[in-house]
């Protein structure tokens, strides 16, 4: 099936190290054509690329195909993320896109489908990290912080306070938030 073909492509790029399995943040054209990942890179753990997003898609495919192996690989990738020191995740903004809220949302979805205690602990730690970014003097409460350190005001769902608050509002429920489909994460 097309889903199996897609999963096999994802598994082809899966990497392993002492912490567990992971996927590259990106693969360049030559690596793709030659089917050989050689580029060393700083891994960024965002919802939209790299290990969190790929593992979530792998979980969803496993669910759709009733393939426990795919789901076990996805869960092991998430457990490896949970073990990392937060600073090594290279996340510096509380927002959804490239930020803590995005990885928190995916972790929450993984938790409510697996009920894995490591994911619950990681989920709670991520929520606490987001709250550390709250700024009472900011009229929106939170900034989007760029990689260069610039603070931007935004009400957007991807790069602003709307996404942050939606995620924080959803994590105390063991139900998938209705808005989750907007991000193609379920």
pLDDT in tens, 58-105: 999 999 999 999 999 999 999 999 999 999 898 999 999 999 999 999
| Ranges 84-93, 106-115, 120-129: which has the least confidence | 84-93
Note the pTM of the prediction, 2 decimals.
0.93
Three-state DSSP class for 36?
A: coil
Residue 6 pLDDT greater than 70, yes or no: yes
Binding site per annotation, positions: 48, 97-98
Binding site per annotation, positions for Zn(2+): 48, 97-98
Task: Say what the pLDDT of residue 39 is.
Answer: 67
Task: Say what the pLDDT of residue 41 is.
Answer: 66
Three-state DSSP class for 71?
A: helix
The alpha carbon of residue 177 and the mean position of all alpha carbons in its chain are separated, in whole angstroms, by 16
Which has the closest alpha carbon to 3: 63, 90, 87?
63
Residue 129 pLDDT greater than 70, yes or no: yes
Task: Say what the pLDDT of residue 171 is.
Answer: 96
Task: Say what the pLDDT of residue 68 is.
Answer: 98
Task: Say what the pLDDT of residue 90 is.
Answer: 87
Taking residue 71's Cβ as centre, other Cβ atoms within 10 Å add up to: 21
What is the architecture, at CATH level 2, of domain 2-183?
Answer: Alpha/alpha barrel (1.50)
Q: Name the percent of the chain lying above pLDDT 90.
A: 76
Q: Where are the alpha helices (DSSP H) in the chain?
A: 2-12, 29-34, 51-65, 68-83, 100-114, 117-132, 161-170
């Amino acid at each position: 099936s097309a889903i199996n073909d897609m999963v096999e492509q994802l598994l082809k790029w899966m990497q392993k190290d002492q912490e567990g399995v992971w996927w590259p943040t990106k693969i360049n054209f030559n690596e793709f054509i030659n089917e050989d990942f050689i580029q060393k890179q700083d891994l960024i753990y965002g919802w939209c690329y790299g290990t969190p997003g790929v593992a979530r898609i792998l979980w969803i495919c496993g669910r759709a195909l009733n393939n426990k192996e795919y789901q076990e690989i996805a869960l092991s990738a998430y457990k490896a993320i949970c073990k990392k020191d937060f600073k090594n995740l290279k996340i510096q903004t509380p927002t959804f896109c490239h930020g803590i809220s995005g990885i928190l949302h995916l972790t929450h979805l993984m938790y409510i489908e697996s009920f894995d205690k490591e994911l619950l602990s990681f989920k709670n730690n991520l929520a606490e990290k987001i709250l550390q970014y709250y700024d009472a003097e900011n009229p929106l409460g939170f900034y989007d912080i760029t990689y260069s350190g610039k603070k931007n005001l935004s009400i957007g769902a991807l790069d602003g306070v709307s996404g942050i608050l939606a995620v924080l509002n959803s994590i105390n429920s063991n139900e998938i938030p209705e808005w989750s489909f907007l991000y193609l994460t379920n």
